Chain A
Amino acid sequence: MTDLLVAWSRGDAAALERLAPLVESELRLLAHRYMRRERPGHTLQTTALVNEAYLRLVGQRDPRWQNRAHFFGIAASMMRRILIDHARKVAYAKRGGGAPRIPLDEACVVGEARAAELVALDDALQALAQVDERKCRVVELRYFAGLSVEESAEVLGVHPDTVTREWRRAKAFLRRELEVR
C-alpha cells in the first residue's frame, strides 16, 4: 500500500489504478459502518472516516506525511466520483432515460433537484480542471471531502493562505460557469 502511494506520487499512473479500488472498497466499508452508527440527519464525520481508512490501509508505520496527503487526495476524488456518478444516474432517470437501478438506501440521499445541481457543478469543475488543476483539487478537498483550509493545505503541501485565496477564486469561476449554463 505504502509502496503504491510512493509510486503514484512519483507519477506512476499504473499505481493509482491499483490503488483506487483498494481505497474505494475501504471507504465504502467504513462509510457503511459509520452510517449504521449515525442517526439519520446527522453530519457524517467524513474527516474521521478518511483518516480511519488511511490508518487501516497504511497504518502508522509510515511516518511520511506526504503519503497521508496523497491518500487524502485520492479519497477526495473518490468521494466526488461516488457522489457525481449517483447524481448523473438520478438526473438521467429524470430526463426519461428509463428506470435506472438505484437502490432504495441510496435513493433517499440525493433528490432530483440536488442531483441536477451536482451534475452542473461537476461540469463546471471539469471546465476548471482543463485550465487549473490545483483549483479543482482545492474544491475536491474542501467540498467533496469536507476538509478544512488547514487540512487541505497539508494535503496540497502549500500554505493555508494559498488555499484560502485559491478557494475564493475557484468559487468565483464556478459560480460564473453555473450562471452561464
Chain B
Amino acid sequence: MSSEARERWRRVDALVEAALERPPGERPAFLDHACGGDAELRREVESLLDHDRTDDFLESPAASEAARLAGAGEAASLAGLRIGRFEVLGRIGSGGMGEVYEAQDARLQRRVAIKRLPAHLSADADRVRRFRQEALAASALNHPNIVTVHEILEHEGSDLLVTELVDGVTLRERMRDGPLPLASLLDIGVQIAKGLAAAHAIGIVHRDVKPENVMLRSDGLVKLLDFGVAKATLGALAEDDSGTTPGSIVGTIGYMSPEQARGLAVDARSDVWSVGVILYELATGESPFLAPTPTDRLAAILARDPVPPSRRRTALPADFDRLVARALAKDPSHRPADGAELASALAAIGSGAAALAEISATETYVSLAPQRRRHRLTKRAAAVLAAIFAMGLAAAWGAWRFASGGAVDSLAVMPFENRSGDPDSEYIGDGLAESLIDQMSRVASLRVMARSTVFHYKGSPDPLEAGQRLGVGAVLTGSIARRSDRLLVTAELVETRSGLRLWGETYDRPVTELLSVQDSIASGVAGRLRPRLSEGEKVALRRHGTADPEVYDLFLKAQFWFMKDTEEDDLEATRLFQQALERDPKFIEPRLALSVIHSRAAVNGYAQPAGEWAGVRSEMDKVLELDPGNAAAHAQVVNRAFLFEWDFARAEREYREILRNPMERNQFATVLPLCLFFWASGRTDEALALIDEVLAGDPGHPEVRIMQADLLAHSGRLEPALARYRTIIEGDPEDSRAWFGLAEVKKRRGDLAGAIEALRKAYELSDEAAGVEALMAARTEADYERAEGLAARARLAALQELARERYVSPLTTARLHAQLGEREPAFAVLEAAFAERSPGLVFLKVDRAWDRIRDDPRFAELVRRVGIP
C-alpha cells in the first residue's frame, strides 16, 4: 500500500475521531467545514460514521476459541503421524520434560516409546549436542537398569528421543500407594544404584534422579530414564531463568543435592544424594526435607539434618538409618562415593533384613510399630473423642439448614488448585479455600460446607460432581500459581444444577496482596448469591484476623502443618503460629489454633494433660480478653471443664448455653463435644439426635459419620451401623477406623468370615503386622479374638518400648491391659491415669475396651471417683 493511501487514511481517521466527539446533530456542520470541498473525503468519513454502532459486534472475544484450538493442536500433535520409520500411536504420558508417545518401529517391527522434549530446550544447538552425547553414551552401556535409547530424531524443531518401551509404572505412581515394605524398597534402591554405577563408571552423572525418572516393570525390573536430559534442562534453567533464585528452580528441587542447589559442580555423589531422598520417601512416605515453600525446602536441604527414617516408621533397621544419613550427608565426601558403593551398602542391609525376617517374621515388626501410626493407635484408644480435635478450627464452621427459596443457598468452596508446578505452594491454595470457608460462613443465610468435607474432594477432576454429591447449590473453584513474588489467582463460581458460570475473576497481584484477593473473591461470591446482605454481614465479611500480609502468610504456613494433625507437625505449626503472634499479638486465630494443639496433645496422650490444659487456658484467657464473646474460646473453656475438671454438670449447662445461639449450632467444634458428653454419660439417643442435625446440614463430614456409626454400633443398632460403615468405606477405603467398626459389627451379627476380612483390612491400614499375620489362617471366633489379643499385645509392647524415651499416656496402656484381660496391671496403670486426670477416663462407662475388667469392684469405684453421671 502506498504511503499516499496511509496519508489519506490518517486524514479520514482524524476526521472520524473528531466527528465522533460531537453529538450526531452537529456532525454535518462540522464536516461541511472540515472537508471543505473534498466530496470523496466526506463520503469516506460519513460511511465510517454510518458503521459506528453500539452493539455486540466483536464484543465477545474469540480468545477462548483460539485457546481451545491451540490446546487441541497440542493434543493432536504427534499421535497418528509417521515420523521416519516410526508410526506414532498414542500419547502415554506427559510432564515437565515433554510428552511421551507409544510408537511402532515399522522396520524392526517392535514397539518403542518416543519422548518429545519441550521446544525451548532444543533452541541451543550446543546444549542439544551435549545432551545427545550423554543420552547415547549412557544408553550404549546396555545395562538392564538403564532404558535403552534407540535413536534421536528431529521433528519440526524439537528433539525426539526414541527409547525402548517399558511396560510398567513410574516409581512416583507406585509411591502413591504409600510406603513400601523394607525388602522391596531395598530391592528398588539396589537396582537404581546399579544402573547409576554403570553410568558413573564411564563418568556420566544423571543429575535428575527422581521417582518420575524411575520405571518399575511389571516383572520387578527397575529402569532409569532420561540420562542427559537433566543436563539440557538444568542448563536451560540456569541460563533462561535465574537458576540462582531459589523460587525459580522448577520441579525437582526435592531431590537436588546441596551442591546442586548452590549451583556448584556435581559428580556421582550428587546422584547418591538423590537416591538417599528416594529411599527415605519410599520408607516413610514423606520427604526428608518437607517444608511449606520452596525457599524453606531449599534451606532445609542446605542446613537441616532429616529426622532418621526409623523415627517416622520404627520397623526400619538401624543400618538403614545410617546408610540414609550417609547418603544425605551435606558434605559429598561423607557420602558413598558412587552408585557402586551405594548398591553394595544397600545389598548388605537387604541380606541382613532377610535373615532377620527369617528368624521371626512377626517379632521383627511387632516391636517396631510405625511411629506415625502410634498416634493413630492412641487416638483409636481415646475413641472418637479425638475426632473433634483432629478437625481444627478452620473446619469448625459447619452447616445449618436455613429454609430458603429456589435461590442458591448452599456453597462448597473447593481447595484452590496449585498450578505453580511446585507442590510447596500448596499451602496457599488450601489456606485460601479455608479462609474463604470461614469468611463465607459468616453470611447467615448461606450454608457453607465444612473444610473436612470439601477437602475430601480435593483434586477431584470434576468439582461439579462433588457439588452434586454434597447437595450444594453452587461450587466455588479456582487456582493459584505462584511465581516468586507474584500470585496469579483465578476463581469461578458455578451453579451445580446447570453448570452455569455465575461469577468469575482473575487476579494477578503481588503475593503480599493475597488478603485483598481473598476479600474480593468473598465479596464477589456473596454479591452474586446474596445481593442484599445485612450491614452486620457486610462487616463480618470484611473482618480479618490481621492486616499484616506477612503475618497472614505465616499463619497460612502454620495452618498447613496444623491440618496434617500429627505430633511432629504440630510442633512446627506451634513455632509458626507463635511467630505470627509475636508480630501481631491481637491476631485471634493463631491463639485458637494453639489452644487446639494443646487440647489435641492432652486428648491424644502426647503429653501430661495438666500442662496442656493450662496452655489451653492461658491462650483462651487472652482471646476472651480481646473478644469476650468469642464462642470458639468459650467452647474450649467448657471442653476443659468436661475433660479435665470432670465437672459434668457445668459442662452440660454451658454447652447448652453456647448452643442457644443458632449461629453456634453451625459449628462442629461446639456441637460435637456435647455429643461426646452425651455419649460419655450413656445418653446415646441424645448424642445421635444431635449428630442427625449436623449431618442434615453437611452430609459429607467424615469425622461425624464415623462417630455416628460408632454410636449406633455401641447401642446395638447393628444394621444401621453396618450401612453407615459401608458408606464411609465407599467414600474413603483407607479409613481404618471404619474397618475396625465394620469388623466389630460383622462379628456381632455372626458374619465371622466378613468380620475376619474387615479386621485384616483394618490392621493392614493401621500397619499392625501382628494382627495381619495372626489373621492369615483365621477361621473361628477364637482365631479372631486371638488376633485381637496378639495385636493388642504388639501395641502394648511397642508402647512400653516407646515409654523408655518419651511420655506415654497411662490411659492408653491401661486400656490395652484391659483388652488383654490383665486386671492387676490394668488397675495399677489406671490409678496413674486417674492421678494425672487423663481425658479418656470420662468414657469409662461406655468404652467397650474395659468390658473384660468391668465386673471388678475397683472399676465401679473408679467410675464413681471420676464422677460420671
Q: Mark A98-133, 1 if CB is under 8 A from B, else 0.
A: 000001011001100000001000000000001110
Query: Interface digits, B38-57 against A, CB 8 Å rule (1 contact, 0 not)?
Result: 00000000011111110001
> Cβ of A79 and Cβ of B242 under 8 Å apart?
no
Q: Is A142 an interface residue, CB under 8 A from the partner? A: yes
Query: What residues of B have a CB within 8 angstroms of the CB of A79 in the complex?
Result: 63, 66-67, 70
Q: How far is the CB of B582 from chain A (nearest CB, A)?
A: 29
Nearest CB to that of A42 among chain B residues?
A: B501
Contact B72 A172 (CB under 8 A): no
Range of interface residues on A (Cβ < 8 Å)? 35 or more
Q: A59-B484, A106-B72, A109-B72 are in contact. Are A143 and B61 (CB under 8 A)?
A: yes
Q: Which residues of A contact B71 (CB under 8 A)?
A: 28, 30-35
Closest residue to A55 on the B side, CB-wise? B483
Binary per-residue interface labels of chain B (494-513) against chain A in the complex, 1 for a CB within 8 Å, 0 otherwise: 00000101001010100000
* A175 CB–B CB distance under 8 Å: yes
Do residues A52 and B157 form an inter-chain contact, with CB atoms below 8 A? no
- Main secondary structure on B side of the interface with A: mixed
Interface residue? B245 (CB, 8 A): yes
Residue in chain A with minimal CB distance to B120: A22
Interface residues on B, range: 35 or more
The CA of A55 and the CA of B241, in the complex, are separated in Å by 10
Please give me the residue from chain B that is nearest to A46 by CB atom.
Answer: B63
Contact at B76–A105, with CB atoms within 8 Å? yes
Alpha-carbon distance A1/B123, docked complex (angstroms) = 11
In the complex, what distance in Å separates the CA atom of A118 from the CA atom of B175?
49
User: When the two chains form their complex, are residues A45 and B490 in contact, meaning their CB atoms are under 8 A apart?
Assistant: yes
- CB-CB under 8 A from B141, the residues of chain A are none
The secondary-structure label for the interface of chain A is helix
Residues of B within 8 A of A59 (CB): 240-242, 248, 483-484
**Alpha-carbon gap, A29 to B501, bound state (A):** 25
Chain A residues in 8 Å Cβ range of B51: 171-173, 175-176, 179
B68 touches A172 (CB 8 A): no
Residues of A within 8 A of B796 (CB): none
Question: Is B1's CB under 8 angstroms from A131's CB?
Answer: yes
Select A106's contact among B17, B69, B486, beta carbons within 8 Å.
B69
Most chain A C-beta atoms within 10 Å of own C-beta, residue among B50, B68, B488: B68
A49 CB contacts on chain B under 8 angstroms: 67
Does B485 count as interface, using CB distance less than 8 angstroms? yes
Q: A32-B74, A60-B483, A109-B69 are in contact. Are A169 and B488 (CB under 8 A)?
A: no
Q: Which residue in chain B gives the minimum CB-CB distance to A25? A: B119
Q: Which of these binds chain A: B5-13, B162-170, B339-347? A: B5-13
B241 to chain A: which residues have CB within 8 Å? 59, 61
**12 A-B contact pairs sorted by A residue (CB < 8 Å):** A25-B158, A31-B68, A47-B506, A48-B488, A55-B481, A83-B65, A145-B63, A145-B66, A169-B17, A171-B52, A172-B48, A173-B48
- Residues of chain B having any CB pair with chain A under 8 Å: 1, 5-6, 9, 13, 16-17, 20, 47-53, 57-58, 61-77, 80, 118-120, 123, 157-158, 240-242, 245, 248, 417, 419, 461-462, 464, 481, 483-486, 488, 490, 492, 499, 501, 504, 506, 508
Q: Which residues of A contact B (CB under 8 A)?
A: 1, 18, 21-22, 25-35, 37, 39, 41-49, 51-52, 55, 57, 59-61, 79-80, 82-83, 86, 103, 105-106, 109-110, 118, 130-132, 139, 142-146, 165, 168-169, 171-176, 179
What are the 8 tightest A-B residue pairs by CB atom distance, in nearest-first order? Answer: A146-B63, A31-B71, A146-B61, A32-B74, A131-B9, A103-B76, A79-B66, A46-B63
Known: A21-B119, A42-B492, A44-B68; 12 extra A-B contacts, CB below 8 A, are A21-B157, A25-B119, A25-B120, A37-B417, A43-B64, A47-B506, A52-B419, A80-B66, A82-B70, A109-B72, A143-B58, A146-B61
